[in-house]
Amino acid sequence: MSDEKTERALSEDLAKASGELLKISQLSAGLTLKLARRWELPDVDPLNLRRPLLAATWNTVRPPSRILAAQWDLARRYLALLKYLGLKAVGRGPAPAASPGKGDRRFRSEAWDEKLIFDLLKQVYLLVSGWMLDNVARMKEVAPEDRMRIAFYTRQFADALSPSNFVLTNPDVLATTREERGVNLLRGFRQLLEDLHQGDGQLQISMTDSSAFSVGRNIATTAGSVVFENDMMQLIQYAPRTKTAYTRPLLIVPPWINKFYILDLQPKNSFIRWAVERGYTVFVISWINPDETLRYKGFEDYMHEGILAALDAIEAATGQREVNTIGYCIGGTLLAATLAWMKAHDDQRIQSATFFTAQVDFADAGEIKVFIDDKQLKSLEKRMRAKGYLDGKDMALSFNMLRANDLIWSYVINNYLLGKKPARFDLLYWNSDSTRLPETMHQWYLKNLYLENRLVEPGGVTMDGVPIDLSTIDLPVYIQSSREDHIAPYPSVYKATQIYSGDVTFMLAGSGHIAGVINPPKAQKYGYWTNEALPADPEEWIAGAEQHEGSWWPHWDAWLRQHSGRRIAAREPGDGDLPIIEPAPGRYVRNER
């Protein structure tokens, strides 16, 4: 390259770096002010780890043989690594001493294997982190809940120390830094500051290009109308896409932890659009994003002003009293409690219930319980009392920590080290569109369900003065769970099969809490398992289950058709006694009143 070209290239790089530095200085000044306003003295043990750590330490050091066994185990692993290095030095192709687990994408780049130094870094890290987690698993004398908490935070610590997360130990980041002469790091630092600004001083990692999507424009576009609303929700009735429809309408009760349009992302993967095309008259509850004025709304208010109000509205809109229902996640938990409440009142308007990844027995609710104990709930109550609600960003961080490598560290590498913009992904746009939770409801939900697991006990909780007994639910039930669900683990969801007294169908989908549900037939992904037998042990159910390829949606459709009545002329929104208020998806999903 000529001196003139070299000088021009250096000048361009300097201009890029100067531009990034200017943006960084401007962002830093504003962020300093935000942090100063947010700063407060922290709780000395906000995660309530002191007792578990003391128990773990005592369990390890009390018998000296355990320390020796742990040391020998680590030495054995290093000896395996030395053997690998020796064989590789003489030109052999040995199997690695440590390899990433299934689904671990941190080291998928070939650059980790091309140079010995990066291969060595990767294997040493995997050896030591695996040894740490194995030691926690061997702490049999530590209470199971304490062992789970120690394992969770040990994994968080190990994940944070992965060589993939640092500039000098990630070959892909090093190559990019050399190629861009470090401008990628400046760009990444600027994006870090932008994310801190977006979170008002709390890091809110950008997972997707939010400018690529807009609710009602290219997300949540299935045609329909809002036909009813109250303080808690808007009810959407979708326009038919067939000339005839089943007699019984279908009411979908989504979670209020997120927005309803996870079921209506884009036409290619919209469950709502697909259901409408099957001939169902679909109604969906769009929950309000609550502010401090709704702080006293409780779980039973979601029943009265949500499900029960929707049933009244559907009858007015269609003239049909009997409906089928779907409850997703916490929406399914609410639906189950509502069904028991309706049974006590001899209210038979709901003729079938489908549950998507919904728990009612929370004894084995998974690692999310590491955030839920008496001390942490008191700390959470204090934070909510100041605002009247739990900020959605706090809940999102807890869920993301359950899969930190996929939902935190991969974006740290992409956004802040490589300096790239996150990809455009509709599901992650929805995931970032978090909602708030009313103080009263959330306190009740965490304490009575997650902490004390009282919903599963007959009469353990009351709804509007009625003792709730889930075993009285005797209508047809279809339960969907996902095999890799980290929020509602399938063994926990499966417990409901042993509670309801009616005809129960359980289906296990591939993938996780979201992708396991949003799996359109055209995608031909993941697969699912079915088994008519319902033994008490979910592993026994799986052992006897039949595996199927593709989406489970047609399997559910075949089940629901049996409970949907005859076909009649399709109904349009506004045909009945409820006038159209506004086009779908409505104001509430846009955080407007």
Output the domain CATH number for residue 239: 3.40.50.1820
Residue type present at position 104: D
127 in any annotated domain: yes
427 in any annotated domain: no
Question: Residue 41 — very low, low, confident or very high, per pLDDT cuts 50/70/90?
Answer: very low
Same domain, 80 and 172: yes
Same domain, 244 and 148: no
Domain end, chosen from 181, 205, 238, is at 181
Same domain, 238 and 301: yes
* Of residues 263 and 35, more confidently modeled: 263
If one counts every other C-beta atom within 10 angstroms of the C-beta of residue 122, the result is 23
Sign of the dihedral through C-alpha 165, 166, 169, 170: positive
Same domain, 448 and 526: yes
Same domain, 279 and 163: no
Q: What is the mean pLDDT of residues 323-348?
A: 98
If one counts every other C-beta atom within 10 angstroms of the C-beta of residue 282, the result is 26
**345: helix, strand or coil:** coil
Phi, psi of 346 (to 5 degrees): 55, 40
212 in any annotated domain: no
| Beta strands 224-229 and 582-583, pairing class | antiparallel
Among 108-122, 144-158, 197-211, 242-256, the range scoring the smallest mean pLDDT is 197-211
Domain that holds residue 81: 50-181
**CA-CA distance, 134 to 175, in Å (whole number)?**
34
Question: Residue 20 — very low, low, confident or very high, per pLDDT cuts 50/70/90?
Answer: low
Q: What is the mean pLDDT of residues 419-426?
A: 92
- Percent of the chain clearing pLDDT 70 (strictly above): 90
Number of domains in the chain: 2
Same domain, 233 and 366: yes
pTM of whole model > 0.85?
Answer: yes
Q: What is the mean pLDDT of residues 291-308?
A: 97
- The dihedral over CA atoms of 170, 172, 174, 180, expressed in degrees to the nearest 10, equals -150
504 in any annotated domain: yes
Question: Residue 201 — very low, low, confident or very high, per pLDDT cuts 50/70/90?
Answer: confident
384 in any annotated domain: no
pLDDT at residue 305 is higher than 90: yes
**CA-CA distance, 51 to 49, in Å (whole number)?**
6
pLDDT at residue 29 is higher than 70: no
Same domain, 157 and 244: no
Domain end, chosen from 147, 181, 215, is at 181
In 3D space, the residue among 478, 473, 487 whose CA is nearest the CA of residue 508 turns out to be 478
193 in any annotated domain: no
Same domain, 454 and 564: yes
pLDDT at residue 269 is higher than 90: yes
Domain end, chosen from 124, 155, 181, is at 181
Catalytic site includes residue 329:
yes
**pLDDT for 6:** 57
Contact predicate 57/63, CB 8 Å = no
**pLDDT for 569:** 97
385 in any annotated domain: no
Same domain, 177 and 244: no
Question: Residue 45 — very low, low, confident or very high, per pLDDT cuts 50/70/90?
Answer: low
Phi, psi of 504 (to 5 degrees): -115, 130
Same domain, 64 and 128: yes
**pLDDT for 481:** 98
Same domain, 482 and 554: yes
User: What would the 3-class secondary structure string for 106-158 be?
Assistant: CCCCCHHHHCHHHHHHHHHHHHHHHHHHHHHHCCCCCCHHHHHHHHHHHHHHH
If one counts every other C-beta atom within 10 angstroms of the C-beta of residue 88, the result is 15
Active-site residue (options: 329, 335, 336, 428): 329
**Tens-place pLDDT, residues 49-89:** 666 777 767 666 667 777 788 888 889 999 999 999 888 88
* Residue 42: CA count within 13 A, CB half-sphere: 5
* Of residues 67 and 136, more confidently modeled: 136
Same domain, 263 and 175: no
361 in any annotated domain: yes
